[in-house]
Amino acid sequence: MKIGIIVFSKTNNTFSVAERLRVALAEKGLDVEIQRIVPENDDPGVKPPVVFTNKPDVSRYDVVIFASPVWAFSLAVVMKEYLEQVASLQGKRVFSFVTKQLASKFTGGTKANKQIKSAVAVKGGTVEKSFIVSWKNKKREAEIDSLIAEIIKAV
């Protein structure tokens, strides 16, 4: 079983969580790697279609974990565009997590994960579980630990 963590991260918050997840999965003896989504232009105001300098190929993974920041109460446009361009997710196990700044509810985390879920469904996949990490939350470390534990338990 091969696991791919497919991450877009502009300021490395999301990437740092992805890296902790990668280490934890690898410590369990699992075959896991991170691939970064790299757009030519990562400006939040970038207009679709987004052009990618690195557009990870998901076909080699059995389990795919998508990770992205929340931008403007929604999924970051770079991840939204990537998911529109990604290959089939049929037959794969899929998870997602998003990071955001604000700890309060209704600041985009749930919406962003729903957007990932819909985009994954268009590609024939189903998101089994999704998670939110709020950077300003006092419980941030607990959120990250719980996300890692839940994914380890599931895979």
Q: Is 71 helix (H, G, I), strand (E, B) or coil?
A: strand
Is residue 97 near ligand FMN by the rule CB under 6 A? Answer: no
Three-point CA angle 8, 18, 60, nearest 5°: 75
Is residue 108 near ligand FMN by the rule CB under 6 A? Answer: yes
The least CB distance from residue 91 to ligand FMN, in Å, is 29
Is residue 41 near ligand FMN by the rule CB under 6 A? Answer: no
Contact string 73-92 vs ligand FMN (x = CB under 6 A): x-------------------
Please check whether residue 99 is in contact with residue 13, taking contact to mean a CB–CB distance below 8 angstroms.
yes
Please check whether residue 4 is in contact with residue 62, taking contact to mean a CB–CB distance below 8 angstroms.
no
Q: Which of 5, 6, 14, 96 binds ligand FMN (CB under 6 A)?
A: 14
Q: How far is CA 105 from the centre of its chain?
A: 19
Nearer to ligand FMN, 88 or 146 (CB): 146
Q: Is the dihedral of CA 93, 41, 74, 34 positive or negative?
A: positive
Is residue 135 near ligand FMN by the rule CB under 6 A? Answer: yes
Nearer to ligand FMN, 8 or 61 (CB): 8
